[in-house]
């Protein structure tokens, strides 16, 4: 595939663009070879602007150049050819603003800029948009965190994602940058590579804060570990940020991406709080059956068919979006429904008027058993009937032997050459464990669609002052395949708030509300709906040591077992709240 056309394009490399504090950021410009002032598509990234892969990552740079756009690619502060010190997320708002001002001042620019890119590239778009640069007309963030305070999910550290990122995109990139400067050696590079090729050992290492290889090359990792209270503070200050954004937003995500709930939140908040009528009216949401990075639509264990192909959807979608907002072409973009979702099971796209869908009916599915819901072969079942007198289910959570992560909305890699552990994987091996409770519906007599956010209400007790509870929604096929759809976790000490943790009293019953994310899935006739409940999902989340102490500082010697109970009786009706679409 030709990334940058050989003919008709002017290329300017390593232009050192000054920021307001004097730090210069290395910038590459690709633009049509003519005298016309053109609109610009900008992406800012910490992954090396010289790697042209990021210009074809769910984007068509050749199309843009051949259709009258300039493309600007910039190394963020402290990365690769740029000056300064890299501190993830810290300078992206002002650096983005200054970069847009520079673009607008160039003779080849017509003063209209759109931004594109995924993951960290998407984060830079949101942070720039908050600053309201005059030249910015629209952003198209994919798989986008709003900012980098998303290190914890409901109190549990996203270990698999952020430890891997700290080694791969933090430390490795930093030593490679230092190498030609004489500030690092090949031995430093090899040390990081050895860690990346033994990530399971890194995940298992305790204390979590004891990562010598990251101390100098990715010092922010230590801040991430202690950021759960910062995340709580940030949640209270985010609304104003959305109110500051005044441009249309094309929000793109995937059901198996770790940031997909952020993408949904961006859309909802822009619809409600966007800083202009245009921003509120022209917020779009696209969610496909995709994971992170390269949006694979076909996973080793599950194919969603040709309609799921990112190549059949995203480039053309972005092209129409930018053609309208940067060139003023009337192509119907403003008249389209704001939400497009891929309904798994039906394996088809559907356009909707809002998210959640306006006709969603939230149905409680109650947990039942005779006290032996352990494993898929146990007696746990789901029913629309509320429980009466039933014994609780009990299991032992041992942090020395946590439930392994098998797929889902994750970004986990054990070596640099191993496949990513993500997507709709089979949970049958997980469901053989005694510390996994399984509650399964009867075989469905007709298809059931579940589309929207999910909540799990559990009544629990524990022998520990603090422990975790996890929930997982699974589509069980007639042949027994148990396909993960979405999951969630709650660290019990944060059951009231992230800002004010409260330990439990052993043996006391508490009501917990677990956010299980969202999904869109058609459970077909003959399939079953299953809920898994446990206390670990490792290394997606760090292990709770069950002590009530500072988990990231505790070692293996601190680990204690927890005996955890799940109650489902007439006074403690644990249930899964499913968002059901019941259209005729």
CA 224 to chain centre: 16
Please tell me the distance from the alpha carbon of residue 56 to that of residue 290, in angstroms, as a whole number: 17
Backbone dihedral angles phi then psi of residue 53, each to the nearest 5 degrees: -50, -35
Please tell me the distance from the alpha carbon of residue 135 to that of residue 27, in angstroms, as a whole number: 18
* Residue positions annotated with a catalytic role: 119, 257, 292
For the chain, helix, strand, coil in percent to 5 are: 25, 30, 45
> What DSSP string describes 108-157?
TEEEEEEEEEETHHHHHHHHHHHT--TTEEEEEEES--SSTTTTEETTEE
Long-range Cβ pairs for the range 226-230 (8 Å, 24+): 226/552, 227/149, 227/151, 227/152, 228/151, 228/152, 228/155, 228/157, 228/494, 228/498, 229/498, 229/499, 230/149
Contact 195, 167 (CB under 8 A): yes
Q: Are strands 152-153 and 575-581 parallel, antiparallel or unpaired?
A: unpaired
Q: How many helices (H) and strands (E) does the chain have?
A: 13, 26
Q: Which residues contact 426 (CB under 8 A, 6 or more apart)?
A: 301, 406, 481, 482, 483
120-130 and 92-104 helices cross at what angle (nearest 10)?
80
User: Which of left, alpha, beta for 509 (phi over 0: left; psi -120 to 50: alpha)?
Assistant: beta
Q: Among positive and negative, which fits the CA dihedral 343, 346, 351, 353?
A: negative
């Amino acid at each position: 595939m030709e990334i940058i056309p050989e003919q008709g394009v002017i290329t300017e490399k390593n232009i050192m663009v000054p920021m307001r504090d004097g730090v210069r950021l290395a910038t590459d410009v690709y633009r049509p070879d003519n005298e016309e002032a053109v609109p610009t598509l900008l992406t800012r990234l910490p992954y090396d602007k010289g790697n042209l892969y990021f210009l074809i990552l769910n984007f068509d740079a050749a199309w843009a150049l051949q259709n009258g756009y300039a493309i600007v690619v910039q190394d963020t502060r402290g990365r690769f050819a740029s000056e300064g010190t890299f501190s993830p997320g810290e300078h992206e708002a002002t650096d983005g603003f200054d970069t847009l001002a520079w673009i607008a001042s160039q003779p080849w620019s017509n003063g209209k800029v759109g931004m594109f890119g995924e993951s960290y590239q998407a984060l830079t778009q949101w942070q720039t948009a908050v600053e309201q640069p005059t030249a910015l007309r629209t952003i198209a963030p994919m798989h986008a965190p709003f900012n980098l305070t998303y290190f914890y999910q409901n109190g549990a550290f996203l270990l698999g994602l952020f430890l891997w990122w700290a080694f791969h995109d933090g430390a490795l990139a930093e030593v490679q940058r230092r190498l030609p400067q004489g500030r690092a050696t090949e031995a430093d590079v090899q040390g990081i590579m050895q860690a990346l090729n033994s990530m399971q050992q890194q995940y298992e290492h305790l204390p979590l804060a004891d990562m010598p290889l990251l101390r100098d090359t990715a010092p922010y990792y230590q801040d991430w570990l202690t950021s759960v209270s910062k995340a709580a503070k940030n949640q209270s200050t985010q609304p104003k940020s959305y109110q500051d954004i005044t441009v249309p937003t094309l929000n793109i995500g995937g059901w198996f991406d770790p940031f997909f709930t952020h993408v949904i939140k961006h859309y909802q908040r822009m619809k409600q709080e966007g800083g202009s009528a245009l921003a509120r009216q022209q917020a779009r949401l696209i969610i496909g059956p995709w994971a992170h990075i390269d949006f694979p639509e076909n996973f080793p264990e599950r194919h969603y068919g040709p309609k799921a192909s990112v190549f059949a959807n995203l480039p053309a979608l972005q092209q129409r979006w930018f053609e309208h907002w940067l060139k003023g072409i009337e192509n119907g973009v403003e008249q389209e429904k704001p939400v497009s979702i891929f309904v798994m099971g039906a394996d088809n796209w559907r356009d909707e008027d809002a998210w959640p869908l306006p006709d969603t009916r939230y149905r409680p599915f109650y947990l039942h058993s005779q006290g032996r819901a352990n494993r898929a072969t146990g007696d746990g079942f789901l029913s629309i009937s509320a429980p009466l007198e039933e014994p609780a289910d009990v299991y032992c959570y041992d942090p020395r032997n946590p439930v392994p992560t098998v797929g889902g909305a994750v970004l986990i890699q054990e070596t640099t050459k191993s496949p990513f552990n993500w997507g709709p994987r089979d949970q049958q091996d997980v469901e053989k464990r005694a510390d996994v409770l399984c509650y399964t519906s009867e075989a469905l007599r007709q298809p059931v669609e579940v589309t929207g956010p999910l909540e799990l209400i559990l009544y629990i007790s524990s022998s520990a002052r603090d422990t975790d509870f996890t929930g997982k929604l699974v589509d069980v096929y007639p042949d027994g395949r148990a396909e993960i759809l979405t999951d969630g976790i709650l660290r019990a000490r944060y059951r009231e708030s992230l800002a004010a943790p409260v330990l439990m009293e052993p043996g006391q019953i508490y009501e917990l509300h677990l956010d299980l994310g969202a999904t869109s899935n058609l459970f077909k006739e003959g399939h079953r709906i299953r809920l898994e409940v446990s206390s670990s999902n490792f290394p997606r989340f760090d292990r709770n040591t069950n002590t009530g102490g500072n988990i990231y500082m505790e070692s293996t010697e601190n680990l204690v077992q927890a005996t955890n109970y799940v109650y489902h009786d007439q006074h403690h009706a644990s249930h899964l709240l499913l968002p059901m679409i019941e259209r005729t």
